[in-house]
Amino acid sequence: MFNWYTWRAILILTGCLLCACSSNGSSGSTPSGGDFAVELQRAFANLTFTLPVAMLQAPGDPTRFYVVEKDGRVRAFDNDPAADTTGDFFTDDNDLVDAGPNEAGLLGMAFHPDYAGNSTVYLSYTRSGPVSYVSRYIVVGGSIDSNSEQPVIIVNQPYGNHNGGQIAFGPDGYLYIGLGDGGSGGDPHEHGQNTNTRLGAMLRIDVNNVPMGADYGIPGDNPFAASSGCADAGCPEIYAWGLRNPWRWSFDRVTGDLWLGDVGQGNWEEVNLVRRGENYGWRVREGAHCHRPANNCETAGFVDPRAEYGRSEGYSVTGGYVYRGSAIAALQGYYLYGDYGSGRIWALETGADNAEPVLLMDTNLNIASFAEDQVGEIYVLDYSSGEIHKLMPAP
């Protein structure tokens, strides 16, 4: 989310959305017909959150949910439709999180795969500067101990926007970190195509096998694993590059594929299937089109998106999940994603190379993020109202 052009529109849209939701109390979604009879229903109707940007469950524990709030908090609550209280799983009591005016703040969280054994959690946030931090914390007595913070990776941001910010462990056990191009507009420093910077890239690091004196290990098959550092033959942390602002992305729990929404500049929002060592084109390409130069740009070596859409359909893509739940059989294996601005939600068949996205519904939500529970059902986080909605079969 958070296109460079977005914020002018948000100032206008947010007020209207809040009015609409408070006046009728409905889920604010429009059921859609077609091949996929689905709708959004308000979930955890007694709970609202402040600028929610992520929701997840701890490995092996279906009894709780955790919602990341951009201002620097994580709220925990019972997986009970009637839940009416939240606890502070993390509170920004050390004031390190700089939520800033727009795209800064607490942006992501990941439980260590062995969380049950090591009580370890990772947070992704920005400090003033801005500077992107991914830090390791220990959970004590049911909440994250701020004093246990151990910075793992620190990346300076030249501008306040395009911080990426999501982190997640892949099926390979490595920690993936999505970083935007550094911000401003049009990638003025060409970070997307520069593999000597960690900006504009998906990073992958090993937090379990850490060499002496290092903060993390480098997976042996990272594209620049043999490089001695970013200034050498490329940043050893890079897994894939050519990304503008990989705000939200996820792993297909069946295939392990990494599906990602890359927020566009002025024209095209894209969905990418991200693979190791591949270049997704920014800023030479925006979607499957030339960006710089605007015509006759280089095309060799760039991987085009699996789906894209233009400004008539939205302006800031929010990547979701490949549906692997059981409630909506027809959606099995489809990648769900949406647009922060237009509220539309699409489904893309992942088993076919040239599948056309299907418009599932057109909502009035500001879709900051999707979430997936332990049984594969899908939730939508509305940034403006702070409400959580669940994707359900239409009656």
Give yes or no for a contact between 318 and 340, defined as CB atoms under 8 angstroms apart: yes
The whole-angstrom separation of Cα 328 and Cα 257 is 21
Q: Which residue has the tokens 């076919």?
A: 352
Q: What angle do CA 65, 45, 320 make, to 5 degrees?
A: 55
281 binds Ca ion (CB under 5 A): yes
Residue with Cβ nearer Ca ion (96 or 288): 288
Residue with Cβ nearer Ca ion (4 or 280): 280
- Using CA atoms, how far residue 36 sits from 354, 370, 391, in Å, is 19, 18, 11
Helix, strand, coil % over all residues of the chain, rounded to 5: 5, 35, 55
The whole-angstrom separation of Cα 50 and Cα 18 is 13
Residue with Cβ nearer Ca ion (76 or 307): 307
Residue with Cβ nearer Ca ion (241 or 282): 282
280 binds Ca ion (CB under 5 A): yes
Reference 149, options 74, 92, 107, 87; nearest CA is 92
Query: Would you call 285 helix, strand, or coil by DSSP?
Result: strand
Name the minimum Å distance from CB 262 to Ca ion.
5
246 binds Ca ion (CB under 5 A): no
247 binds Ca ion (CB under 5 A): no
Window contacting Ca ion (CB under 5 A); options: 5-13, 155-163, 222-230, 275-283: 275-283
Window contacting Ca ion (CB under 5 A); options: 56-64, 147-155, 282-290, 384-392: 282-290
Neighbours of 12 (CB within 10 A): 8
Name the minimum Å distance from CB 308 to Ca ion.
9
Name the minimum Å distance from CB 305 to Ca ion.
6
Residue with Cβ nearer Ca ion (164 or 281): 281
Name the minimum Å distance from CB 185 to Ca ion.
16
Q: In what order do the strands lie in the sheet with 269-274?
A: 246-251, 258-262, 269-274, 307-309
What is the C-alpha end-to-end distance of the chain, expressed in Å? 31
Name the minimum Å distance from CB 123 to Ca ion.
27
Window contacting Ca ion (CB under 5 A); options: 118-126, 203-211, 274-282, 332-340: 274-282
Site string for Ca ion, 200-229 (x = CB under 5 A): ------------------------------
Site string for Ca ion, 369-388 (x = CB under 5 A): --------------------
178 binds Ca ion (CB under 5 A): no
Name the minimum Å distance from CB 304 to Ca ion.
7
Give yes or no for a contact between 323 and 331, defined as CB atoms under 8 angstroms apart: yes
268 binds Ca ion (CB under 5 A): no
The whole-angstrom separation of Cα 333 and Cα 348 is 9
Size of the site for Ca ion (CB under 5 A): 3
Give yes or no for a contact between 31 and 362, defined as CB atoms under 8 angstroms apart: no
Which residues are at the interface with Ca ion (CB under 5 A)?
Answer: 280-282
